[in-house]
Structure formats: structure tokens, C-alpha cells
Amino acid sequence: MSTTNSDRGAWGSRLGFILAAAGSAIGLGNIWRFPIETETHGGAAFVFVYLLCVLAIGVPVMIAELTVGRTTGSNPVGAFKRLAPKSLWKVVGALGVLTGMMILSAYAVVAGWILKYIWFSLTGALAGRTSDEIGAIFSAQSANGTQGLVLHLVFILLTTVVVAGGVHGGIEKASKWLMPVLLVLLVLLCLRSVTLPGASKGISFYLNPDFSKLNFAVIMGALGQAFFSLSLGMGAMITYGSYLSKKENLASAATIVCLMDTGIAILAGFMIFPALSSVGANAALGPALIFVVLPHIFNNIPLGQLFQALFFILVAIAALTSTISLLEVVVSYFIDEKRWSRKKAAWVMGGAAFVIGIPSTLSNGAVSSLTSFGFMNMVFTWFGEISLVVGALALCIFIAYKWGIRNALEEIRLGNPKFPMAAVWTFLIKFGCPLAIIAILLKAYILPAFSG
Ligand code: TRP
């Protein structure tokens, strides 16, 4: 079957785009991974560096991705091919497509746990339990391989159905009503969390920076988390930008999306850390963190199980709008470059994501060799962190020294004739972002590899 223009799709409205991009950004990265990263990297100082990374690197890189996407109207591989024909730059796009597939494969595992927690809430399995008991229940469910595979499959299926339906039918509709409800619920949970007994220790961990804890591992963690949470570094925003109209103000759209995403992450911290210190657990809980801490909050509010079910349903939908964007990158590549139909691309690649995700699913207690190897965490580190940072670095260098800042500015000005931040953006893309990224990569990974 050949492809038509309608197989590519386009956004219905400005709001539709902002909500879809925010839907891509807001997900498990905010609710699940941001608290884990903050915990392992020592609290408030990490949060401070994270905010710096979002502002100084995340926003300009998001503008850059949207610009490249809109100017080419193409997936990441096609975008590099169009702007730099017959060069090796398309490899950067291909790395992005691969990265999207790999992140999706691991992400759907955690999303599967969210589905299980909806079930726990409906059956009241966690009601009135101590946090030790809840921890044991979490471990038992994550170690159940068959169940893990079923949950993983269900989540991939949901993602595939939406992506197969196309940009209009699927992504926009799924995004439109979710965010406000999730926001209200988050605020309510924060209010409960900060008023729990013993909350103050967690609040100070989260808000009182101890800068002596800063080192390059912390900074790298913050940078990687910023890219992951904002869906940057692998072409998701190139793909979403490709469905945008020329009238759109890219700089303001990117800023709004970054602010919304960061706001939700900060709220998630306010929800988790006071409750964590209230539970009294200060051991590094890793992937289990929110799954142990959240039930504690719900056990301390009236109608807790009902709110818990509602909360996990909303988080599942937030995760779904993120997995949709991951699969969309891969699918748009096969539609544009391989001339597959949208349906074929979605189902074949959804199936591939499931198969690739099998070892990740089984690496949480089901198969001991995969567990001790830490397969899922490794996928998150290599693809959800390092690859994103490298991809963003390559994009900055590409714009600054191959395609040309002037061409990029021209594209941005189509929808934003003044673009008051042009000078700042130019400086950041040419020097600020690439130098910062190179320095952080060197210090965090490359130099230690030689000295260790
Ligand atoms: N940003 C999403 C989250 O926070 C995850 C995600 C979706 C993503 N698309 C992405 C991460 C593209 C990196 C790149 O949950």
C-alpha cells in the first residue's frame, strides 16, 4: 500500500499541538523518574542543577528540534537527509529512531506496573498495609514474569492502537482532557503529603540545597533527566514539529511546553519526598520509589483507594501520551522513508517494541541473570540518558555549523517575526549548549573511564 499525505497527518490547532507536545513530555519521566533521580543524586542541589539544565539547554534545544521538524516536514532521518543531502548526518536521525524504540521497550514495562497498581487500587490490595508490606507486594509483582509480559503487552497494544489511528484521531484527543485533571490531583496529593507527620525532613531534603554534594555524576544525571523529561535528543520534537503550521510561534510553544513539564516534575517531588520521610524509609528505593510511597499517602486520606485508582489511571494516560510519541517517531520514519502505510508501520514496530522489551520486563526479579545485570536500568541509562545527550549535541552542531543558524532563524521568524531572544538562542546553540554538553560528557563518562 502506498502512503498518502493523510498518512502523515497534521495538528488540528495550536492548542492541539501544545497539548500533544506536553503530553509527550509529561509522563513517567516526571512522576516516576524525576523523584528517583532526585533521591539518588542527593536532593535539592540536583533539583537546582536540573532547573538550570531545562532553562539553558532544554528550551533552546526544543526550539531547535521543532525548527528542524517544521522546515523539513519530516521524520528525524528524512530531516537530516533533506537539509544535508548525501552526508552522514542522517545517522544522527537513525540513532534517534533506534533510541525511540529502545526507550519505548523499557518504558512500557514501568507503564505496565502502573496498570497493575490501578488493579491493586480497585481490589483494595494495598489498603491499610504497612510500607514494608507494600514494598514486598511491589517486589512480588515486579518479579512475576508472566504477568509482567502481559502488562507490557497491554500497554504496547494501547500505544499501537492510538498511533495506528493517526495524529488527529489519536494523539490530540488523548491529550486534551488529561492534563488539567492530573494537575488538580497532584496538587491535592502534595497538600496531603506535606501535612503528614514527619514530612519536614523530606521537604528540607527537597528544598535545602547542599552544594557540597554536587559533582559531575549529579550534573550528568540532571542533564539526562532534563532531556528525558522534555522528550528531547532523539527527534520526537522534530517529528511533532513536522506536523506544525508555519504560523506557529516555535519559541513560545517550546517555552510553554518546558514550563508545564517542569512544573509537573517539581510537584511530583513535593508529593513524594515529604511522604517518603513520613514513611521513614531513606534507603534508596530505586524503581520502587513511587510504588511504595504513594500508597502510604492514599492510606492516609479519606476514600484513599478511590483516589489512588483515579491517580494511577491518569498517570497511565500520561504515560500513554508519551509512549505514543516514542512510537510515532519510529512510525513516521517508516511512513516517510520506507513508504509503509501508517497501520503497517504501527503494528510491525509496536510488535518489535514488545519483543525488544522482553528482557527488560524479566530483569526486575523474574530472571536472575537479567536482574543482576540490571537490563532495564541499562536500557534507561544508555538510551534514556547518554544517547539523548549525544543526539542533542549533534543537533546543535548540525544547526550551527552545517545547516546554518541563519536558515534556522529564518524558519523561526516565519511564525515569530520579532523573535526577541534570537541573539541568546544563537549563542546557546552555537556555543553554550554544545560546550556544556561536551564538558559534562567528558567529566561524567569519558575521563573517568580512562582514569578508572
Ligand atoms: N518525556 C517522556 C516522559 O517524561 C518520555 C518520552 C516520550 C521521551 N518521548 C520521548 C523521552 C522522547 C525521550 C525522548 O515520560
User: In testing the pocket of ligand 1, which one of 50, 179, 322 has its CB within 8 Å of the most ligand atoms?
Assistant: 322
pLDDT at position 17, please?
81
- Residue 218 CA to residue 239 CA, distance in Å, equals 30
pTM of the predicted structure, to 2 decimals: 0.94
- Residue 30 CA to residue 6 CA, distance in Å, equals 33
Segment 354-367, tens digit of pLDDT: 999 999 999 999 99
- Residue 19 CA to residue 40 CA, distance in Å, equals 31
Segment 118-146, tens digit of pLDDT: 999 999 999 999 989 999 999 999 999 99
CA 179 to centroid of ligand 1, rounded, Å: 16
Going by C-alpha positions, the residue among 85, 103, 37 that lies closest to residue 387 is 103
Angle at 167 between CA 162 and CA 173, to 5 degrees: 65
CB 225 within 8 A of CB 33: yes
pLDDT at position 19, please?
82
Q: Which atom of ligand 1 is nearest to the CA of 384?
A: 13
pLDDT at position 66, please?
97
User: In testing the pocket of ligand 1, which one of 34, 113, 229 has its CB within 8 Å of the most ligand atoms?
Assistant: 229
Low-confidence ranges of the chain (pLDDT < 70): 1-12, 166-176, 281-284, 452
pLDDT at position 12, please?
66
Q: Is there an atom of ligand 1 within 6 Å of 231 CB?
A: yes
pLDDT at position 3, please?
43
Residues 6+ apart with CB under 8 A from 113: 141, 142, 151, 291
pLDDT at position 359, please?
98
Q: Is there an atom of ligand 1 within 6 Å of 326 CB?
A: yes
Segment 172-205, tens digit of pLDDT: 566 667 778 889 999 999 999 999 999 999 999 9
Q: Is there an atom of ligand 1 within 6 Å of 325 CB?
A: yes
